[in-house]
Structure 1
Amino acid sequence: MSDRQLPKWSELRPLLRPKRFELDPRRRRLDSALTIADLREVARRRTPRSVFDYTDGAAEQELSLRRARATFAGLEFRPSVLRDVGDIDTTTTVLGAPSALPFGFGPTGFTRMMQHEGEVAVARVAERVGIPYGLSTLGTTSIEAVAAAAPNARRWFQLYVWRDHGAAEDLMRRAEAAGYEALILTVDVPVAGARLRDTRNGFSIPPALSARTVLDGARHPSWWLNFLTTEPLRFASLDRWDGTVAEMMNALFDPTMTLRDLEWVRATWRGPLIVKGVQTVDDARLVLAAGADAIVLSNHGGRQLDRAPVPVRLLPDVREAVGDGAEVLVDTGVMAGSDVVAAVALGATAVLVGRAYLYGLMAGGEQGVQRAADILTAEVRRTMALLGAPRIADLGLQHVRLP
C-alpha cells in the first residue's frame, strides 16, 4: 500500500499552467491544425459543399488521386544514422534561382471562389516564405494585380493553350510585362476530365443561387457573406463565364495542340518554359528535347484521366532517362512535408503543392495559407533530420523505397 497525502499548494502551483485563451477565432482554428489533413477538415466545415468538392475532388472514380496518396503513404524511408543534423538547410535551386524550400505553390483555378482573399493571399505567403508561386490562366485575380500584391515573389504564369492563339499570346505578353519569371505550359487538358462530384453538385462558375446553394449558405454564412460583398469573380484571362468548368475548358482550350506548338510558345515567351502534365518517360524526353527548360510530372491532381500514372512513381525512371542536368518537378497527392522530401529523394528538383495550400486558404485566408506553409516547412525539416540528410543535395534513392 502506498502512503497518501494531500498535495501542498507549493507542489501544485508549478503544475498549473493554463493555456492562454486565443480571442481570435480564426487563429484558434488554425493553431489547432497540426497537419494538412487537419486544415482539410477545417476547410470542409467552413466551405459550401460544392466549392469544397470542386477543390477536393478528382475525375471519375478518383482512382488517380487515391493511388497517388496511397503511394506516398506506402513508401518506406531508410534513415542514415550518426549524421550531423544540427543545422538543416532546406534551400535549393529551381530554374537557376534559389528557393527557400524544395516546394512551390502550384497554379490553381478559381482561387477566390474557394476563399475571397484568393491568389493575392497565396502570392504574399510565397513571397514571405521565399518559394515560387504559379498563377493560373483560370485564376480569379489579374496578372497585374498579383504582381502588384507580391512584387518580390518568384511569380510563374500557367498557360492553357486556347483555340484562339492570339489570346494566349496576349496573356504571355502581359505576364512578361508584369515581371513573371517563367511560363508553365499545361498540356494534359485537350478536353475536360469527368469530375463527377461537380456534376452531382450542379456546380457552376460562378456558383448559382439555387435552392440547394441557398440552404447550404445557411450553414456557411461567412463564406456567402464574403462572396457576395467582395469584388465579383473575374479571371486572369477572360471577363466572365456562366456555366460549368468542363464547358469552359471544352469551349476555350485547343484539343489540336501537338509538340510542334512548343515552337510557337518558345517564339513568344522568352523566359524559362516549364511543361506540366508529362506522364511517361518517352514524353519527358521529347518535351525536353523540344526546348522545355523543365517538366512537371503531373496527372493534374487526378482531375483529368482516371487511372493515370502516379507521378511520383515515374520519378526514378524519368530521372535516369533525362539525366541529372534536367529540371524535373512533380505534383499530385502531396499532403505532407515528408511527401516533399520523398519526392526529392526519388529525383525531383522540387515539388508543386496545390490542394495543401488551398485547404489552408479555405480554413483561414492568408493566415491559413501561411499555416499550411509552416506545417509543410516543419515537416520537411524534421524528415530531413530524421533521415540524416542535412542538405537537400544529401537526399537520394538510398533514403526511400517505393511500395
Structure 2
Amino acid sequence: MSAISFDVSMRSRPITVEDYRRKARRALPTMVWAFVDGGAEDEVTLRANRTAFDRWQLRSKVLTGNAGTSLSTKVGGVELSLPVFLSPTGMTGLVHWTGERSAARAAERAGTRAVISTASSYTVEEIADATSDNHFFQLYPWTSLATGEPLSKRFVDRAHSAGYRALFVTVDVPVPGNRERERKHGMGIPPTLTPKRALDAALRPRWAYHFLTKQRISSRMLVNERGAAAAVRSARTQQRLMRPDLSWDDLARIRDWWQGPLYIKGILDPDDAETALNLGADGIMVSNHGGRQLDSALAGLEALPGVVDRIGGRIPVYLDGGVRRGSDVVKALALGATAVGIGRPYVYGLAARGEDGAAHVLEIFREEIARTLTLMGVADVAELDRTHLHPVTDTAGAQYTDHRHTT
C-alpha cells in the first residue's frame, strides 16, 4: 500500500512545464484560460513559436568529461544563475491573486530576475517592498495624460525610484492584437459574464474565493483600485493610451529619461535592431509578444539568427516566445541569444501552485538545461554556438531554414 501511495503522490507532482500547463487549465475558468493561453486571430504565430524549435536538432559529443553545470549569464548588469528570466505578463493577478509579487519572489529564489509589466496587478513600489533584489521594469510607451505630463516618463521615474535595474521598452503594441479566443470566451472590454461562465468560475472555488476577496485584477499602475470595475477602467485606459503613431523619436526620448541599461522588446527585423542600437539601446529582445499581436508574424526563433547576424557581438540579444523546455533554451543560446525570457510557463506555475509553482518551473528549466548540456558534452552555456545545431530536413530533403540559419 505504501508503494502505491508513493507512486500516486509522485504522479501528482508536475515534472514538466506541460504538466503545469494542464494543472493551470484545470485551476482557471475558461475565460481566464483564454486570456493566458490564447493568441491573435488564427493563432498561426502562437503555434509557430513552438514548432520553430522542432526545426533544429542538437549535436552531441560523448566522453567529453563535461558536466554541463555552468549556466550563469548576465542580464541588465546582473549575474543570473541560469540563462532564463521572467518576461513581463500583464494583469497576472487574474491567474493567482499574488500575481507579479510572487513571480518576482520566485525569480529571486531561482537566482534570476523578473521583468515587471506596466500592466502589472501590483505597482512597482509594492513589488519592490515585497522583494529583496532589484528587478527590471517593462514600459509600454503610452501617450500623455490630459495634464500633458508624459505618462511614460512618470512610470520611468517611479521604477527608477523603486530601485529597478533595467528598462525593457515594448514596441510591438501600437494597437491591441485581435485576440479572438479571448473575445469568444467573454474576455472583451468589458468582459461578458453569462450564467454558464459564472458556473465555470464557481467550479474553481479556490480561484473564485481569491478573485472575490483579493480582487487583484486591475492594472495598478493605471488605476489604484481593486475589483472588476477597476479592471475594466484600466483596460479601457490602456487602449485609449496606445500609440499607433509611435516613432523612433519617442524611443530616443525614453533613452534620455533612463540612464540605466535599456532594452527594446518586440523586434523581429534586423534593420529595426540596427536602428535601436544606433539610438543607444543596450540590447534587443526578439519577440512577437507571444503570438498575441500580429498573427502570421515570424516566429521568434526564426527571427533570432538574422538579428544576431546584424548586431551580435555589439549588444546582447535576448529571445522570448514558445520556450517550454531546457532544450529550447539551449537552441536559442546556440543561435546567438544571451538569455531567454519565459512568460506563459511561470504563469502556469502561478496558477497551479502560486509562488512555489513559479519557482519550481524555473528549477525544471535549470535541471533540463544542465542535463541537455551534459548529454551534448558541453561544459558551459557560453560555449554554445551554431556548430552545436543541425537543421532538420523534411521528407523531400529540403531544409526547414534559410540562409541566415547556417551552422
- Quick check: TM above 0.5? yes
Q: What's the offset of the Cα at 1:49? A: 0.5
- Cα 1:66–1:259 change in 2 (3 A) is same
Q: Which structure 2 residue ranges, 5 or more long, are not aligned? A: 224-229, 392-399, 401-407
Look up the match of 2:287: 298
Higher Rg: 1
Q: Distance in 1 between matches of 2:215 and 2:337?
A: 39
Q: Distance in 2 between matches of 1:268 and 1:244?
A: 25
Q: Is the 8 A contact 2:65 2:377 kept in 1?
A: yes
Q: What's the offset of the Cα at 1:318? A: 1.6
**2:94 maps to which of 94, 113, 117:** 113
Q: Distance in 1 between matches of 2:273 and 2:316?
A: 11
Look up the match of 2:17: 36
Deviations 1:208-250 (A, max 9, x none): 65423311123211110111112443424211342695x5543
Q: What's the offset of the Cα at 1:258? A: 0.4
Q: Count residues with an aligned counterpart.
A: 382
Look up the match of 2:127: 146
SS in 2 for 1:157: strand
Look up the match of 1:13: none
Deviations 1:291-330 (A, max 9, x none): 1111100000000000101111122222121131311001
SS in 2 for 1:132: coil
Deviations 1:330-377 (A, max 9, x none): 111111111111100110011000001001111111111112111111
Q: Is the 8 A contact 1:205 1:244 kept in 2?
A: no
Moved more, 29-38 or 348-357: 29-38
1:157 aligns with 2:137: yes
Q: Which structure 1 residue ranges, 5 or more long, are not aligned? A: 1-15
Moved more, 381-390 or 196-205: 196-205
Look up the match of 1:242: 232
Deviations 1:79-119 (A, max 9, x none): 12231223611111223331111110000000011111211
Q: What's the offset of the Cα at 1:205? A: 6.7
Q: How does 1:238-277 map to 2 (within 5 A)?
A: 238-239=222-223, 240-242=230-232, 245=235, 247-277=236-266
Q: What's the offset of the Cα at 1:19? A: 6.2
SS in 1 for 2:69: coil
Q: Distance in 2 between matches of 1:323 and 1:340?
A: 18
1:123 aligns with 2:68: no
Q: Is the 8 A contact 1:30 1:364 kept in 2?
A: no
SS in 2 for 1:203: coil
Moved more, 321-330 or 340-349: 321-330
User: How does the TM-score come out when normalised to structure 1?
Assistant: 0.90
Look up the match of 2:269: 280
Q: What's the offset of the Cα at 1:266? A: 1.2
Q: Is the 8 A contact 2:101 2:127 kept in 1?
A: yes
Q: Distance in 2 between matches of 1:204 and 1:296?
A: 28
Letter in 1 for 2:137: F
Look up the match of 1:400: 389
SS in 2 for 1:364: helix
Q: How does 1:152-191 map to 2 (within 5 A)?
A: 152=133, 154-164=134-144, 166-191=150-175
Moved more, 156-165 or 116-125: 156-165
Q: Distance in 2 between matches of 1:302 and 1:30?
A: 32
**2:43 maps to which of 53, 57, 62:** 62
- Cα 1:220–1:278 change in 2 (3 A) is same
Look up the match of 2:323: 334
